Amino acid sequence: MSDLNKTCDDLLARLTRGESRVPGVVAMVTDRERNIYSGAAGERRLDGEPMSDDTVFAIMSTTKAITGTTALQCVEEGLLDLDAPAKEYAPAIGAIKVIEGFDSAGKPLLRAPKSDVTTRQLMLHTGGFAYDFFDETYLRLATEHGQPSVVTGLRAAIETPMVFDPGERWQYGTNIDWVGQVVEGIRGKRLGEVMRERVFDPLGMKDIAFTRTPAMKARTATIHARGDDGSLTPMDDFALPDNPEVDMGGHGLYGTVGEYMKFIRMWLNDGAGPNGEVLRADTVDWAVKGALVPPQKVTMLPGVIPSLSNDAEFFPGLGKDWSHTFMVNTEKAPTGRPAGAIGWAGLANSFYWIDRENGVGGYWATQILPFGDPQSFTGYLDFETAVYDSLNGQ
């Protein structure tokens, strides 16, 4: 394991130097019991405080799996039927229409969906919702009709039309924000409260929340913009809001990498945490399995707002499925990640994976836009590869 430490330390040091550097990175690896690697390099903000393992990040879409966990708990308790209309739990979703385009005056053409969207469809990203940075129709709603961005934390940001009928295909979008609304409707509490009571406290996760404490705020890394020339500019005025109107289950959490590792360990340990069971083992077993119905499949994410995302895809050319609520690679990845492992990413270039077969998982956190940053994404893949090389004695 000393070789892994040296390899990863060298990787982090190399990535945080030179003209095409990342500003700062925190990376950790865990087995079923404890972290087996923890490293930090670079700075929270260019020319600012050094990055450290207790740095707080906007973890963006790596929030999704935690929201999914709270929904699975509702299923276990018999409070949520995944195949019932989601409007039974979150009435506002019942008013959502499907957009079929725009008329000659640029007005959206809306109609009722052919069927009610279900929570299962929302968890699988087949519910019909999109993101403006990955979808041209949503981008037009934003630019021409004032549709607010999801990063505002406003309720209006998720009350958007569907771009297709529920169940028609896989498309990444605000589906999991709606899962959060389903959970709130069932529990009668804000999503953050539910997470604290049912996930964070049982797992001993403290520095993670939709609204940062003053101490967390003081340790928060700045998001940086990558220019076309490779330069980095701190985005001092860009941050997810504290005290948001809606606890955005799709992307709204702030947290440290160390806290997320506790969540990863729960999945490696069949739902068990240090302070009791978070999920039943049988729930974990089915929740990590790909559940898309062919020809549905996970596709490349097209970067329609270049400042927010490049075209991005994990393991191009290899099969990818979606579970409740992770990406599942259906073939062995070039990094060594086995078929059936799960994981995902966050918009500001954070990435994680959970390999239940080998009992390892990891998280790589940077704060850079656009998503799919060549330096950070390549660094992450090298990091994951180093873990598997170490496991295989290479």
- Residues tagged active-site: 61, 64, 172
Structure tokens of 355? 């390999």
The verdict on whether omega for the bond into residue 370 sits within 30 degrees of 0, i.e. cis, is yes
Q: What whole-number distance in Å separates Cα of residue 63 and Cα of residue 345?
A: 9
Q: Rounded CA gap, 10 and 360, in Å?
A: 21
Alpha-carbon dihedral sign for residues 148, 151, 154, 160: positive
Query: Angle, nearest 10°, between helix axes 2-15 and 374-391?
Result: 170
**Residues in Cβ contact with 289 at an 8 Å cutoff, skipping those fewer than 6 apart:** 323, 328, 340
**Strand ranges of the sheet holding 327-329, from the earlier edge strand across to the other edge:** 35-42, 24-30, 360-365, 350-355, 342-346, 327-329, 320-322
Positive or negative, the CA dihedral 116, 122, 128, 131 is positive
Q: Which residue has the tokens 């009722």?
A: 112
CA distance 346 to 138: 19
Q: Which two tokens mark 45?
A: 């903000």
Which residue carries 């709606």 as its tokens? 178
Q: Which strands, in side-by-side order, build the sheet including 232-234?
A: 232-234, 224-226, 368-369
